[in-house]
Structure 1
Amino acid sequence: MPVCNASRYLKKSIKSVLNQSFRAFELIICDDGSTDGSYEIAKQYQKEDSRIRLLRNSQNWGVARTRNKILAAAVGKYIAPHDADDIMLAGRLAKGVEVLDRNPDIGVVFGHAITVEEKNRKEIRIAYARKVLSDRQDKITISGRVETYTKFPHGSATFRTKLVREAGGYLEHLKVGEDEDLFRRLWEKTNFYAINQIFYIYRIHSKSLTVKHGNL
């Protein structure tokens, strides 16, 4: 979990991870130069839950480089990215681990996500790969490519850590879109597994990277 000045949302975000039914995980939080008390909030949660590992950058590195620092520190065989202002919904970790444990040829598991706009609480479901997936099926393995690449919800995905490292992690020169870039590279290397369930809530607000860089 990269954190930069997310004190307003951080408590709920951390709780959404700690409350997952799958318990055998480490939550790596890396503070990326926060000045609003975010680090202190994370430190308090670390004192209360031994599953939390807390890292800190001496200055702001940017989200891609911070994600790579977390990736390098991870010891688990799977990694599930999560952002400090978002919410992880029930079952996300359990389902991801279940599929990856059962299917060694699968490298990425993902589900649905929704966005919640801060101004009016409007919810918008993020569609994924509609040309490939059928709504009539609950779980579908994607083993080929699509002519037009469709964005996958990064926050709903669980990856094999080894594959992400072999792909080179996140490209650090990208200020935004580092997640989609990683998906494109992994698409060339492994099979994707889709679960027809909402796993993640993206919070869109004035300080989010998506808004800052005009990516909506």
Structure 2
Amino acid sequence: MNEPLVSIITPVYNAERFLSDTIKSVQNQTYKNWEILLIDDCSKDNSAQIIKEFQKYDNRIKYIKLKKNSGASVSRNEGIRNAKGRFIAFVDSDDIWKPEKLEIQIKYMLKENLGFTFTSYRYMKENGELTNKIAKAPSKINYNGLLKNTIIGCSTVVIDREIVDYFEMPLVRRGQDTATWLQILRKEKYAYGIEQDLVNYRLVGESLSSNKIKALKRTWNTYRNVEKLGLLKSSYVFCFYVFNAIKKRI
């Protein structure tokens, strides 16, 4: 098989409502050489049974169970350490990939010799109904650009491990994905965006206003406690982040 192996990392915690749809969206990829590592963070629902049922018919599906509930960053790092692929991709357990997602992204990365790419994504209601709102990926973004605009959706990212040095996610409960992209962009000049919306991002659970407040706190924590930015620079880039977050939602 000529296609390089893609290892897809999915943390799973009490994900039974949407997990099957997520796995099916991976199985429906036109790009076929992949494995998906589903890391069970001690779920209390039927997530494990759902995964094991899929495993009976598809040996590309891997199940890993953590010994204790540890959060998404630990789960994703366990997946990265067990991944066999040249490429690392991420999809959250309630998001949906469009069938051509991997094919378009991997082809682009191989052609242009890119280590880090992401795509636009479309917002989806909790019930699966698609909205007209799309978070549009810029053609490229660097470290300072990402500080001002956390546009990179985790479920859209693919990393080429032959180009990007070994990486793991910082051990923080929230915002570990953006912190990881910032960490990578300290070494890589750019992350490159694909304009097509190839992922449907599900808005789940709490009210939009509650989620916005959490996102603001999470981003501020990333600036101050993960990136160790000073108060002045944190305040400066935070203003841009708020502006871009509002623009993204309109």
**TM-score range for the pair, normalised by the shorter chain length:** 0.7 to 0.9
Distance 2:142 2:118 in 1: 14
User: Residue 101 of structure 1 corresponds to which residue in structure 2?
Assistant: 110
Gaps of 5+ in 1: 134-139
- CA deviation after TM superposition for structure 1 residue 117, in Å: 3.1
| 3-state secondary structure, aligned to 2:173 | coil
On the 8 A contact 2:136/2:195 being kept in 1, the answer is no
Gaps of 5+ in 2: 1-9, 217-250
Confirm or deny that 1:30 pairs with 2:56.
Answer: no
Cα distance, 1:98–1:35 mapped onto 2, change above 3 Å: same
| 3-state secondary structure, aligned to 1:214 | helix
Structure (1 or 2) with the greater helix fraction: 2
Distance 2:67 2:212 in 1: 23
* TM-score, L = length of structure 2: 0.72
Confirm or deny that 1:4 pairs with 2:2.
Answer: no
Alignment partner for residue 178 of structure 1, among 161, 168, 176? 176
Superposition pairs for residues 115-126 of structure 1, below 5 Å? 115-118=123-126, 121=129, 123=131, 124-126=133-135
Deviation string 1:60-94 (CA, Å, 9 cap, x unpaired) is 11000000000000010101101111111121111
- CA deviation after TM superposition for structure 1 residue 165, in Å: 5.5
Question: Computing the radius of gyration over CA atoms, which structure comes out larger, 1 or 2?
Answer: 2
Alignment partner for residue 96 of structure 2, among 87, 101, 105? 87
On the 8 A contact 2:18/2:94 being kept in 1, the answer is yes
Greater Cα offset, 157-166 or 10-19:
157-166
Which ranges of 4 or more aligned residues in structure 1 deviate by more than 6 Å? none
Distance 1:69 1:207 in 2: 28
* Letter paired with 2:159: F
Alignment RMSD, CA only? 2.7
- CA deviation after TM superposition for structure 1 residue 40, in Å: 0.6
Identity rate, percent: 27
Alignment partner for residue 53 of structure 1, among 59, 62, 79? 62
Distance 1:155 1:169 in 2: 16
On the 8 A contact 1:79/1:159 being kept in 2, the answer is yes
